[in-house]
Amino acid sequence: MKPEYFQQAVLDWFEHQGRTDLPWQKTITAYRVWISEIMLQQTQVATVIPYFERFMDSFPTVEALANASIDDVLHHWTGLGYYARARNLHKTAQRVTFDMGQQFPDSIEQLIDLPGIGRSTAGAIRSIAFKKPAPILDGNVKRVLARFAAVEGWPGQTAVHKKLWNIAERYSPNSRTADYTQAMMDLGAILCKKTSPNCNQCPLVNDCKAFSQGNQAHYPGKKPKKILPIKSSLFVLLRNADKAILLQQNPPVGLWGGLWVPPQIEKQADLHQLCNKLGLKVTEQKLLDNRRHTFSHFHLDYQPILVDVTETPNRVAEIDNQVWYNPKNPLSLGMPAPIKALLST
């Protein structure tokens, strides 16, 4: 299928069936496109919409985001997961604000030089915000192109990924770039779904190799399955007389980097050593039900232990990376969703 026919078919479909009322489509700027694209990574549109709207209310400009505290940014991100995205948002906002005069670059090379922006996100910013040619290859577009061209293999493999990029480049237009980019994402989200694709309404159906073969589910190839390892931990909920829970901030990098969490220990016998170190005295303790949280590369089995404590006379009242958190009068802190849920029960 010639690129111009492919493009026209996709654009004609978009004019009648595409999504045009998403929050980030109303007042298009590089900043708003960037925030939406980062939020949409690994996350469904319906989930992202309320987060995006709250984020824009609090940080309406890249300058506002740059000047915000990382705690405030992570607080707004709580529940979206993959928190490195939020940390990179903050870093990029500061780069753009303080080093680039609050102006996003419009070249792919300069965009991908910013923290957290990959080639596809850069393509979306350039094509939608600046209306300049650039291919994208997010999850939805990978699925559309893999089926259309019957590309064998899992897109996470280098050779398969490269082949899909070549196809994306071949079909990307030089004009109407914003509409085309949104149209390709919409095709994957609305019609070319992972399961039960609505092929009869697809503008590419007559030239789709997967459809002609009758094996749409074969494409794209599945990620090889692996057994996730299991790690375990005790989450210590240290509760003072005011019913507040002690939280401490993780280092800025690593698992749950920069987020506020309860102290963790490997075994219950370590509890008194932890409390002595913190200047706290145990008055009562109770083990709660086991829980599991699954990360991309392992399962975390954790058991909360609720510990009522009193502060010893020599305890330092204010410690930089610790805070007493009262769920009835919550602070604006960035917390992992499992911890937020645990503290609300």
- The pLDDT value given to residue 337: 87
Contact 155, 118 (CB under 8 A): no
What pLDDT, in 10s, does the model give residues 292-304?
999 888 999 999 9
- Report the range of poorest mean pLDDT among 62-71, 140-149, 204-213, 327-336: 327-336
Average pLDDT over residues 234-240: 95
Q: Where are the domains positioned within the chain?
A: 3-218, 230-344
Half-sphere exposure of 323 (CA within 13 A, CB side): 18
Rounded CA-CA distance 48/28 in Å is 17
Rounded CA-CA distance 5/281 in Å is 74
- The pLDDT value given to residue 252: 84
Report whether pLDDT(317) > 60.
no
- The pLDDT value given to residue 66: 98
Confidence of residue 315 (pLDDT cuts 50, 70, 90): low
- The pLDDT value given to residue 316: 53
Average pLDDT over residues 200-228: 95
- The pLDDT value given to residue 318: 52
Average pLDDT over residues 31-44: 95
- The pLDDT value given to residue 97: 98
Average pLDDT over residues 63-88: 93
For 10-40, give one letter per residue: b (16+ CB within 10 A) or e.
bbebbeeebeeeeebbeeeebbbbbbbbbbb
Report whether pLDDT(320) > 80.
no
- The pLDDT value given to residue 226: 87
Confidence of residue 329 (pLDDT cuts 50, 70, 90): confident
In the residue annotation, 37 being an active-site residue is answered as yes
Does domain 3-218 match CATH 1.10.340.30? yes
Average pLDDT over residues 15-19: 93
Percent of the chain surpassing pLDDT 70: 98
Rounded CA-CA distance 288/6 in Å is 57
DSSP secondary structure code for residue 295 in this structure: -
Bridge partners for 294 per DSSP: 299
Average pLDDT over residues 197-214: 97
Average pLDDT over residues 26-31: 96
- The pLDDT value given to residue 218: 96
- The pLDDT value given to residue 162: 98
pLDDT averaged over every residue in the chain:
93
Task: Name the catalytic one among 4, 15, 37, 311.
Answer: 37
Confidence of residue 319 (pLDDT cuts 50, 70, 90): low
Average pLDDT over residues 133-141: 97
Q: What is the pTM of this model?
A: 0.84
What pLDDT, in 10s, does the model give residues 263-311?
999 999 999 999 988 889 999 999 999 999 998 889 999 999 999 999 8
How far the first Cα of the chain sits from its last, in Å, is 57
Among the listed residues 129, 118, 113, 100, the one whose alpha carbon sits nearest the alpha carbon of residue 29: 129
- What is the maximum span of the chain, computed from C-alpha positions, in angstroms? 78
**SS3 letters across 137-193:** CCHHHHHHHHHHCCCCCCCCCHHHHHHHHHHHHHHCCCCCHHHHHHHHHHHHHHHCC
Report whether pLDDT(177) > 70.
yes
> What values do phi and psi take at 278, rounded to 5?
-90, -5
Report whether pLDDT(136) > 70.
yes
Q: Tell whether omega for the bond before 220 is within 30 degrees of 0, i.e. cis.
A: yes
Helix (H, G, I), strand (E, B) or coil at 8: helix
- The pLDDT value given to residue 253: 81
Pick the CATH number of 230-344 from 3.40.50.720, 3.30.1540.10, 3.30.1180.20, 3.90.79.10: 3.90.79.10
Average pLDDT over residues 212-230: 93
